[in-house]
Structure 1
Amino acid sequence: MIKENFLIFPIRKSLSKFRNIGYKKIIQNNEFEYGIKIKNIGNVPFRGGVIKNVIITPFKLNVNFDITSNKRFDIPPLNPGDVSIIWFDRTLSPISGQFWLNFNLETKNKIISFQNLIHFNIKNEHLLQQSITNILLIILTLITIGISISRLF
């Protein structure tokens, strides 16, 4: 039996308004895109497969909330060393915290479940906005002090 070996990394891209000011992390109540990067690290070609049952689940056990995608995502054949990026969906989360990315990968030989293996974080929107407000208040205070000092001389 031929053994297929590959590495899977989660990828995500924030689509929030804060991206325009350089903040690229995923933020609560803001749209983001998520997927995986898969690399064939074996010595034999990977013949491809299908990803199904994609679910994002929060770490918090007392929260009954999941983000699901019922679509099928094809993984192309990969020669040794080849990499493929597969974007699953665009969505947003009304809650913040750490999340698991779970899915089933079906190849011609077997079905592999990736559960509680891959995780990422969603930043609390309120805390981010409060940080930005605090920075702006500090800047405004420094400007006001600077103007007051310049009038003395």
Structure 2
Amino acid sequence: MNDDEGRKTTTDSRDGEDFRVPTSDFVDYLPYELNVTIFQYLDSISLCRASQTCKAWKNLIDDRSSLWRTCCQTMPDLSHVPPFGDGRLFKAYLSSYVVRCKVKSKWLSGEFSNVRAVSQLEREKMVPLGVDDWGEILQAEETRDTQTD
């Protein structure tokens, strides 16, 4: 059901009186460009969370490449992302970056220091890391080894 202005509503009955209750949020009420402007103020984590809120938000956020491009360009390892493509491309770069950072952080913290076989990592999500990342991880391991000796 829609109200007089075309917005989605549902009928609710309380105390025997029928009235219409809006079933949508600000995305349905505001102009598209204003919605995009609001989402531009979110950081990358908040933008990811917002895109998981509902289909309307997901579609708006995913379809707007400028939102994700801005997030990618603020990340040092993602500043090389080409300035073209749709929002899904930038979101994919950002998602893989976050996973890489988590894996690298676990290696650096020593969580995997005592791993002796691949089978010990079966439950862990692993991704390829760069040469610089592995150099940093090896230095951290050497430092841990010298501190235990």
TM-score, normalization by structure 1: 0.26
Q: Could you say which structure has the higher strand fraction? A: 1
TM-score, normalization by structure 2: 0.27
Higher Cα Rg, which structure: 2
Q: Could you say which structure has the higher helix fraction? A: 2
Query: Relative contact order, CA 8 A, sep 6+: which one is greater?
Result: 1
